[in-house]
Amino acid sequence: MNSSHNFTALPTTLSTPPDLVFSINVPYMVAELVIAALSTVGNLLVCLAVGLNRKMQTVTNYFLVSLAVADACVGGVAIPCAILTDMGVPRHNLYPCLLMLSVLIMLTESSIFSLLAVAVERYLAIFLPFRYPTLMTPRNALLVILVTWVLSFLIGLVPLMGWHKTPPESGYCFFVFVVDMTYMVYFNFFVCVLTPLVIMFLIYARIFAAVKRQARRIAADRAQGEAQDRRAASMRSEAKTAASLFLVLFLFTVCWIPLHIINCFLLLCPGCAVPLPLLLTAIILSHANSAVNPFLYAYKMKAFRRSFKAIFLCCRVAVDQNDRMDDGGTTTQRS
């Protein structure tokens, strides 16, 4: 979804110059590789934590795993594609070029739809608690995840279906020379990104308002009994979970909106120059979002924190056992 993984080849301001002078932007490349490693390892750890712990296999966490898969793919697939298109590769090969440039769009859409699914699931849990168990079954959750991924691929593949620019004679695979900015702004941003984000913010606003009202009602009821205490504890738990998930959404918005604003600027003012450092910062910020969620889960969610610790402890025990076996084997050989 970046308006240019290609601008390490351009001057210090961005427009559409006829001549390209290639140079490798080392700090940018290093930042991308670090983000790729953190995204891949961190999000695979999230998938492992849910897969190994049956208590964590909840509907909410299924959607978070879907989000983690998308973020891991950003690190393992999209960022390497971005680095290649930085160098104009593949050259004189339009459809592989469009596919590589569309990968991040697909994965970002999958992230947005996963966040939307989480918001709707939390809404149902709070506003329809009695119908929630029948509506949000694991089977239904997996069906929703399948639909979100299919939609993401269809949206990302739109440029391959014909909504793209005529490739330049040079044949370089550069984003602004190949992908139509009207698609990026009017369809991708306004329809597929901004609209779901607005819906999600409204959902969380209503959730927080409902939780606040319920908390006041419970506090006003002085007849505290066991049932009332359970309701209060449940409400606090729901509020904490909603706050953590809203933070995931908020960070996604903060990381991606600057790049979309630059896309709008490039479309509405094609002759204007965008400083290269600003553009690269926006690109890195958007990619960095894929690496932050595992840290957020570890910091804000006890269940994930415990599972991460258990995984690390198991790995440490396995390493210690291997070391002891190696030491034992060495001792036997010496004797």
Alpha helices in 128-225 (DSSP H): 132-135, 138-156, 175-178, 181-182, 195-220
Is 135 a residue whose pLDDT tops 50? yes
Is 10 a residue whose pLDDT tops 50? no
Q: What is the rounded radius of gyration, in angstroms, for the C-alpha atoms of the chain? A: 24
94-109 residue pLDDT tens: 899 999 989 989 999 9
180-230 residue pLDDT tens: 999 999 999 999 999 999 999 999 999 999 988 887 887 777 556 666 667
Q: How far is C-alpha 66 from the geometric centre of its chain's CA atoms?
A: 9
- The per-residue pLDDT for 87 is 81
Q: How far apart (Å, rounded) are the C-alpha atoms in residues 297 and 299?
A: 5
Distances (CA, A) of 173 to 36, 53, 85, 154, 190: 21, 44, 6, 21, 25
Q: In degrees rounded to 5, what are phi and psi of residue 170? A: -65, -25
Is 44 a residue whose pLDDT tops 80? yes
Please report which confidence band the pLDDT of residue 320 belongs to, taking 50, 70 and 90 as the band edges.
low
Please report which confidence band the pLDDT of residue 20 belongs to, taking 50, 70 and 90 as the band edges.
very low
Is 19 a residue whose pLDDT tops 50? no
- The per-residue pLDDT for 288 is 96
166-182 residue pLDDT tens: 888 888 888 888 999 99
